[in-house]
Structure 1
């Protein structure tokens, strides 16, 4: 098993490096691998330095950070509900965060996200976490009945997601055409917060929460055995479920605050990691993050270049990949 993990770690790192290199090379201004390397070594032209360090690199780094958050969040949600279909974008967690952020931004300024004042930017993660917490509270309240039933949790989450999405759509009707189009793009998933300020603001929180979950990953292993057995082993089941539900929600919320509502990343990465590795969560969580990062970086590269100069929201590209797999899982579970 250790040999298998080492091999897969090596493969995952190589694939991630290749996808990052492609993301840095491909765009309206094409660059060769050597030009990218020379730019990192300090030998690039002014245009190459600007393209790499101000446009493509922060966007790629943000994609990795966001995918890490959503991949770990999805893996945790699937673990505590014991439902392979649980995913923050589908059950309303991302939508709750998105609603909070849209209301916060539109109430304070008419500028688009790249021009937001620092006073608004600083509170984005906090507002997103509040929005997700409200959403999770509704889901937990309606899904709880002597414990959380996996089916009831999913159905409640889908209902909350639909309700919040309807509220966002209703709110958009009162916007100007320009604001409407911008918010529509963002709620479909767009790496709009791709500058170093947003990365420095969100990365420490995301990686801090990820490390906290990783440290307590053994509890997830016990919870996966079932409530009765976990209780017999001394785990306070409902307390631990609530802890992991809140931390997973905060991860998804912070990712949503800078990348919009990207669904299915929290489904694809964790399920592929589980299929390849199985095993315990201490092993599975990092690979769920890595696979999710590969998928999102590739999807973002496609979204930027497929119909250039028009950019497709990256969430649409991910959904094109995720929906068939989601249907496959539903049929398989049935």
Structure 2
């Protein structure tokens, strides 16, 4: 039973985050290489704008804003799940190699499997999921000990090693590719939001519609998996089954996000920690908060990044890393007791 005061606090925080997201969206629609006057936003949304205003809003700004918001939500939830099933606060789909696995699969698919442009967009999340899943399975197997079960610290270390190895594999793949395709992969590595059209939204949205409610449904199982294994088994939790199901969910969410935004890390690390600091460690409370924080973080990073340097801006992945890397070091030192 969750105390009513905590539920009230959660609702207030969710409302504040929703307002923060809306403010960031409004700011993001008006600023950019081609500015759009704020007093023209509403008329343009209602179909009363000029051709240029409607093109800037509906073909450039809104798709990118929605993509970054959805991707940030997916990455945050993926990170929260990984931290729960591994009982490791440093777990993140970017840090432990899942994003890199998706990236290698996308790179190979993009370079060596020609496909019609119409179906390419919708194939990307599936290809990314296959690559990320293979990586996650290998990392899980190498981190598992039959006597003591999954070893959280080993998982992070193995994941970091895999992430570095797979990044090297992507560079090797780039060395044998055409110049135009190399540019795409380089942008992907930097976390440059490249899927900025409406079809990309339709490609990522079903994954969130399916897996966000599913994860919220599994919130209590995540609470139990966060306890020691003997306690979880004692209350009737099938640990390995639940871990595998939730791991597949985390991989699917991360893969769907990075397939359209590139290799973005640290969102899945920071958002769950911020949410726990605000409403506590119970998954029923902090998961919805984490989802909104993740969406806002990536949206904010992309809005700032694309307006610092014109016309291309700074990739969202780099902006997030500038914040996330020091935060990761802080958590690492805190975990080691220094």
- Normalising by the smaller structure, the TM-score range is over 0.9
**Cα deviation, residue 266, structure 1:** 0.6
SS in 1 for 2:265: coil
Map 1:175-214 to 2 at 5 A: 175-214=177-216
2:296 is aligned to: 294
Partners of 1:153 and 1:143 in 2: CA distance? 5
Q: How many positions carry a matched residue from both structures?
A: 329
SS in 1 for 2:333: helix
**Cα deviation, residue 126, structure 1:** 1.2
Instruction: Answer yes or no: is the 8 Å Cα contact 2:7–2:285 preserved in 1.
Output: no
Where structure 1 has 5 or more consecutive residues not aligned to the other structure, the ranges are 111-115
TM-score by length of 2: 0.94
Bigger shift: residues 151-160 or 178-187:
178-187
**Cα deviation, residue 158, structure 1:** 0.7
Instruction: Answer yes or no: is the 8 Å Cα contact 2:92–2:268 preserved in 1.
Output: yes
Instruction: Answer yes or no: is the 8 Å Cα contact 2:207–2:252 preserved in 1.
Output: no
Map 1:62-77 to 2 at 5 A: 62-77=67-82
Aligned-residue CA RMSD in angstroms? 1.4
**Cα deviation, residue 60, structure 1:** 0.4
Partners of 1:290 and 1:127 in 2: CA distance? 26
Q: Deviations over 1:259-298 (max 9, x none)?
A: 1110111111111111111142122111111011111111
Partners of 2:192 and 2:284 in 1: CA distance? 30
2:331 is aligned to: 329
1:132 is aligned to: 132
1:118 is aligned to: 118
Stretches (4+) displaced over 3 A: none
2:3 is aligned to: none
Partners of 1:292 and 1:264 in 2: CA distance? 10
Partners of 2:212 and 2:263 in 1: CA distance? 20
**Cα deviation, residue 166, structure 1:** 0.9
2:49 is aligned to: 44
TM-score by length of 1: 0.95
Instruction: Answer yes or no: is the 8 Å Cα contact 1:190–1:259 preserved in 2.
Output: yes
SS in 2 for 1:88: coil
Instruction: Answer yes or no: is the 8 Å Cα contact 2:32–2:307 preserved in 1.
Output: yes
Bigger shift: residues 176-185 or 131-140:
176-185
Instruction: Answer yes or no: is the 8 Å Cα contact 1:89–1:262 preserved in 2.
Output: yes
2:157 is equivalent to residue 152 of structure 1: no
Partners of 1:207 and 1:122 in 2: CA distance? 16
